[in-house]
Amino acid sequence: MNNIDFVNARLIAAGRSIDNGYLSIRAGRISALGDMADYRPGGEVVDLRGDHLLPGFIDTQVNGGGGVLFNDDPSVEAIAAIGAAHAAFGTTGFLPTLISDDLEVVDAAMRAVERAIEERIPGVLGIHVEGPFLAETRKGIHDPAKFVQLNRDSIALLSGLRRGRLMVTLAPEMCTPADIAALAGAGVIVSAGHTDADYRTMRAALDAGVTGFTHLFNAMSPLRHRAPGVVGAALDDQTSFCGLIADGHHVDAPVLRIALRSRPLDRFMLVSDAMPTVGSATKSFVLNGERIEARDGICMSSDGTLAGCDLDMTSALRNIINMTGIGMADASVMASGAPARFLGLDHVTGGIAVGRVADLVWLGREGMPKGVWQHGNPLASHAVAA
């Protein structure tokens, strides 16, 4: 592993900025950081010339990238290709995400993730199983023919991941609070999404063990003044984590601003909900037998249904700053610290602090990564040149 000293950097460390700082990596971990006045040389020097050094981004919803859709190819090779595509945009940790499919495919995807972690494929932290335990009334682009009720067999399957984190998105009305408690008790991270539940049902699900909301506002019952719905339950709850798609299409800017004022900012997570078009010159793909086109950052079916995103995490970070007016430090928490905490990995990654693994993004002033490191090793090709 490289011993690297980043100098003349604007650090985002522990939610604050150090305007002229240094950071040292030794044996894949952050060994020292502080003001340049206290810097003592000792490693290969990378001069950031006043650019930002951020914690690497963590994306809990990555359906595809680099021309690969995880549902089409639930394999180690596909996971590696998806991870490499997103690494170029600063993502150092991700959950390959399986859209509603047969349980045999869910099983195959889980086994592929286990092997990917065993083979140390960069960045893979586990798997997000988005469905098939969803509500047809809020199906979005998911195929309702795949939808099933959660039962004892599927709970056993989801509880059986041997390596990494497993996140499942489900509709609380498609199961019971006891089912949710069983999943949570087995270590599964339970998130509500694609759901038409009312406030009371959603509140019971939170009490049973739901800790997240998948792409808040999208594909869920809205907030109304006499029917708060899932959105109302999410904004009212102060401890769960909410994924946000900051692409300018899924959620309007005023709604994002209202949401961020309603509950702790460090309980919001930026997600890409990325499709194969990210990191690929090909801007179309097939999902559930239907051609999906990506134009102007929007992935859409022929009938106008949104179908994931042509979005990367660097763009999501830039968008949330521009759309809401928050600062870089807060945006960095949403891109790194909050998802790390949601996954129970914040003691290891998701922030810049002595002892944490060196998952880092050098963000240039033009808003694009100049270098990306995971465990102190360069992930993206431009990081080598840096």
C-alpha closest to that of 170 among 156, 180, 160 = 180
Asked if residue 375 belongs to a known ligand binding site, the reply is no
Asked if residue 50 belongs to a known ligand binding site, the reply is no
Asked if residue 345 belongs to a known ligand binding site, the reply is no
Asked if residue 308 belongs to a known ligand binding site, the reply is yes
Handedness of CA 332, 314, 62, 258 (dihedral sign): positive
CA gap 265, 200 in Å, rounded: 24
* Cis-peptide, bond into residue 122, ω within 30° of zero: no
**List 273, 310, 330, 346, catalytic entry:** 273
- The distance from CA 285 to its chain's CA centroid, rounded to whole angstroms, is 21
Asked if residue 306 belongs to a known ligand binding site, the reply is yes
Asked if residue 376 belongs to a known ligand binding site, the reply is no
C-alpha closest to that of 311 among 370, 252, 249 = 249
Is 273 known to be catalytic?
yes
Asked if residue 307 belongs to a known ligand binding site, the reply is yes
Asked if residue 218 belongs to a known ligand binding site, the reply is yes
Annotated binding site for Zn(2+): 130, 194, 215
Residue list, annotated binding site: 130, 141, 194, 215, 218-219, 226, 250, 306-308
Which residues fall in the annotated binding site for substrate?
141, 218-219, 226, 250, 306-308
Q: What residues are labeled active site?
A: 273
